[in-house]
Amino acid sequence: MKTVLLIIALLLVVLLLLSLTLYKRNAPTTIREEEVPMTDIERFTYKPLDDTLKNSLTSEERSIIVGKATERAFSGEYTDTNDWGTYYCKWCGSPLYSSESKFHSGCGWPSFDEEIPHAVMRKTDADGIRTEILCATCGGHLGHVFEGERFTETNTRHCVNSLSLVFKDGAPVAEAVYAGGCFWGVEHLFAQKDGVYSAVSGYTGGNVENPSYQDVLTHTTGHLEAVKVLYNPLEISYDDLTKYFLEIHDPTQTNGQGPDIGNQYLSAIFYRSRHEFDVAVHLIEILEEKGLQIATTLRPAAVFYPAEEYHQDYYERKGTVPYCHAYTKRF
């Protein structure tokens, strides 16, 4: 009897061990969170333009730009203007329309037959019939767009509220901010690029207001040395401008740029709109498909603080060339 019980016990132990083995073999593998490779969506997460970068609005302007109201016909400041220049978004300052696309439609609101590329986005209006137009950078309401009226060759009419706009003389001026190591070299090379009006060295991305160079050197401000580029979007696209940025510094270096090591020298693109974000992601993907391991991060635009005067136009004043920045064709 004891022998039979012993055999039964041994069989039960064997069955238990077999069950545990099968469970471990078929059970899902547990991977620590930091070991899971990031997808493109997780690695690059889009965030809309922060309200701190938008201009203050009067109650009437807010009712239109945010509340999507419509100003009274023929009452707007820009309904019948003919001056040469550019119309900008009142809320965020992004260039929207060239005066060359403005025409008189007799509708009672400023009319344009073409926007600056990627400046305006369209969506179905709340009424389910019309097409609403909004600033592609901040989402501010502009008005509505109509097709098929045959006013101009484009067969398109952007019907825009004057209170959504600000007019300025001259060609359109857009801005882009990049961080690629020591700002002296990045500024110097951008200033030479066709279509660029100016490049300004400064600090951005941190949590300290009006930082000095010495503040940033402490590595406690969170700011990066960066360059604000002012350019004509009708002469050079954001796509080409960003390609150039990725070709004038080493976007694969993870701890700085060249001999400049530290978190203030990291590579980053500060985007203002969904279009800019998508362009940056696409260009990084192209480089990674070519085998490069890109360290450049994408960050939402933040307040940009110009650096001290002695940092501006550094190489031009010194009559020298950058020590860690040079053009390398990658696209």
Catalytic positions: 182
Q: How far apart are CA 25 and CA 81, in angstroms?
A: 76
Give the Å distances, CA to CA, from 135 to 49, 66, 77, 141: 11, 11, 19, 7
CB 113 within 8 A of CB 101: yes
Q: How far apart are CA 245 and CA 72, in angstroms?
A: 45
Strand order of the β-sheet with 102-103 is: 102-103, 111-112, 156-160, 141-147, 131-135, 120-124
CA angle 224, 227, 232 (to 5 degrees): 150
